[in-house]
Structure 1
Amino acid sequence: MTFIRFSAALACALGLAAPAFAQAQIDRPECVAPANPGGGFDLTCRVAQTGLAPHVASPVQVTFMPGGIGAVAFNQFNTNRADDGSAIVAFSTGSLLNIITGKYGAFDENSVRWVATAGADFGAVIVRADSEYQTLKDVMDDLSTDPQGVVVGAGGSVGSQDWMKGALLMREAGGTPMQMRYVAFDGGGDAIAALLGGSIEVYTGDVGEMVPYLDSGDLRVLGVLAPERLDAPFNEIPTAKEQGFDVEWTILRGFYMGGQTSDEDYQKWVDAFTAAYATEDFAKVQQERGLLPLNMAGAELDAAIAKSIETLREISIEAGLIQ
């Protein structure tokens, strides 16, 4: 998935192309969080609510539509709200996995219109500070020669986002995802506690959650699963790619609309996000919400989603999650 970081010059150019006073005329703009209040979908909609405020004529209202980790909303926006031009719905990389594995029913990634991103987090390979694994290569060597000898753990069951990170590492090491010795936990906090306690050796988590542990010196990040090095405080951490391993994992957060939305209504939202991306204020909103800059809208996001779906489907087939 393409990682986009706007330079100051590009941001300036985009700012000239889309001045702050050019507001999208969207009737009763709404962001649907397909879950109860709190959590990632709520956070995603808050980014739209705050970050788009200068770029839409009316305030974005956040509403909630829980059910099936996004399944209820996905079905609603493929049936009776398929042409709703006033509403966007929050999604994540986990939503893409649910689409692939059939948890969202008969509709697929081509049934909706992908609008824009809110930001992203990136996968990371994490060990204890006193681990014998000094580099990512050390981990990959053991995964290659003795995969059952490496205890990998994370906050998610088989088929989850965190499991997928380990599966990608296992595949890059020359094995199959089902060879991985994986321990599932209820969440990232439990997985980190297990890592600190010695129950697992490698945690395939998210780099964004590592700040307090890096400051305390309890954990080390051997590699980030991003296309290029991140900004501080992660700028000293090498990517997996620069260490010779072609593994990326972007925890994408963004928005879709119903598949029958008109081009005009769709473009209003795309233009609003494009204008917001060019401002420092939007970057501050992302930072405040714990997201890293990953700014794509319209056709660019369509292409990124298609590429991500292809990769996720390949891994899911290899792992026996789908046929």
Structure 2
Amino acid sequence: MTPMHNPTRRQCLLAGASLLGGLPAMGQAATGWLPSQNINYVIGVAPGGSVDLYARGIKQALDSLKLVNGQTVIAENKPGAAGLLALQQLQRNRGNAHHLSTFHTGAVAGQASGMLKADLREFVPVAMLVEETTLFAVGADSPLKTAQDVLQALKRDPASLKLAVAPARGLNLHLALAKPLKLAGVDVAKLTVVPFRSSADSMAALLGGHVDLVAATGPTVVPLAQASKVRMLVSCAAQRGSGPLTEVPTWRELGIATDYASYNGVLLPGGVDAEQIRYWENALRQVSQSPEWRAMVEKSGNRPVFKGYVDSHRYLEAELNGSRALVASLGMGTP
């Protein structure tokens, strides 16, 4: 990507604080910038996983709630190069707030590990709407009945199980897989990690008996668990979830003092102005408050949240630093 100035964390937060002062409270009349053409929403992953699910849920809510000034949101999947292709499309439309993309923890982890050859700080994360947890799942007939069974097998022979992640090694699902295993005493450098194009593909491989365990988020795991096709062994959340996740223990409950959360939201091109950021932050706040949106997220086993521009910037900076430290501690780096 074309080199750009990379702001420091302090510059990001100062800019965020300045913009926050200009953001209207909910209920104020919309002023300033409004969409004047269709919105292009580029989804930087393949169809079938949670990032795609939530992006399309956001697109549907923006349309159904009539939040785009009479325009239409056109969603397009553009997977490849750990999300780089989607970011390049966003970069080609610098300053144009009619272009959106996905902002998610997987991309941050990709930058930290070197998988993603781009700097997310060149773009503008405007909102985060979903907090996700990673689940470890096995087939319904697997001899691995508990997370302790998995740990025992991997401590004896770290390469003995085929562990599926998507869409690549070095991204958030791989980090969520490796972090608790390393803390439990598994040699994570010797794991047999099998990457798939999407979590839907990794779950299909699990059902077909081609892998032993999948690390994936709720939307792809929960429906199959409810259909008794897979068994959820453990959650990477800090505490037990609600709904279908109430029966799934966390690593902390099992004596492994760690957790790993992922977030999904929306990214704008670099070069957008305060009025454009304000417009999208307010629109996405309304999406987050929609009963239909909240029901969809909760049904998938995850938690609806809303974190606006300032909090999203803070998260990007903090998560990037934290992921770099985690990658280094795991000895992973660029595959």
Q: Does 1:278 align with 2:286?
A: no
2:9 corresponds in structure 1 to none
Q: Paired residues, what number?
A: 304
Going from structure 1 to structure 2, the CA distance change for 1:118 and 1:231 (only over 3 Å counts) comes to same
Between stretches 249-258 and 127-136, larger displacement belongs to 127-136
CA contact (8 A) 1:23 1:57 kept: no
Shift of 1:126: 1.5
2:73 corresponds in structure 1 to 61
The Cα RMSD (Å) is 3.6
Alpha-carbon distance in 1 for matches of 2:291, 2:198: 33
Structure 2 counterpart of 1:310, from 317, 321, 327: 321
Structure 2 counterpart of 1:33, from 32, 42, 54: 42
Secondary structure, aligned partner of 2:243: coil
1:50 corresponds in structure 2 to 60
Shift of 1:115: 0.7
Gaps of 5+ in 2: 1-24
Going from structure 1 to structure 2, the CA distance change for 1:150 and 1:123 (only over 3 Å counts) comes to same
Secondary structure, aligned partner of 1:241: coil
Gaps of 5+ in 1: 1-16
Alpha-carbon distance in 2 for matches of 1:201, 1:120: 26
2:95 corresponds in structure 1 to 83
TM-score, normalising length: structure 2? 0.73
TM-score, normalising length: structure 1? 0.75
Secondary structure, aligned partner of 1:272: helix
Going from structure 1 to structure 2, the CA distance change for 1:267 and 1:131 (only over 3 Å counts) comes to same
Going from structure 1 to structure 2, the CA distance change for 1:57 and 1:211 (only over 3 Å counts) comes to same
Paired AA for residue 267 in structure 2? Y
1:9 corresponds in structure 2 to none
Alpha-carbon distance in 2 for matches of 1:157, 1:128: 21
Summarize the alignment of residues 100-111 of structure 1 with structure 2, pairs less than 5 Å apart. Answer: 100-102=112-114, 104-105=116-117, 107-111=118-122
Alpha-carbon distance in 1 for matches of 2:154, 2:60: 44
Shift of 1:220: 1.9
Alpha-carbon distance in 2 for matches of 1:124, 1:141: 18
Secondary structure, aligned partner of 1:293: strand
2:106 corresponds in structure 1 to 94
Alpha-carbon distance in 1 for matches of 2:52, 2:195: 25
Identity of aligned residues (%): 21
Alpha-carbon distance in 1 for matches of 2:45, 2:220: 22
2:26 corresponds in structure 1 to 18
CA contact (8 A) 1:227 1:248 kept: yes
Going from structure 1 to structure 2, the CA distance change for 1:143 and 1:34 (only over 3 Å counts) comes to same
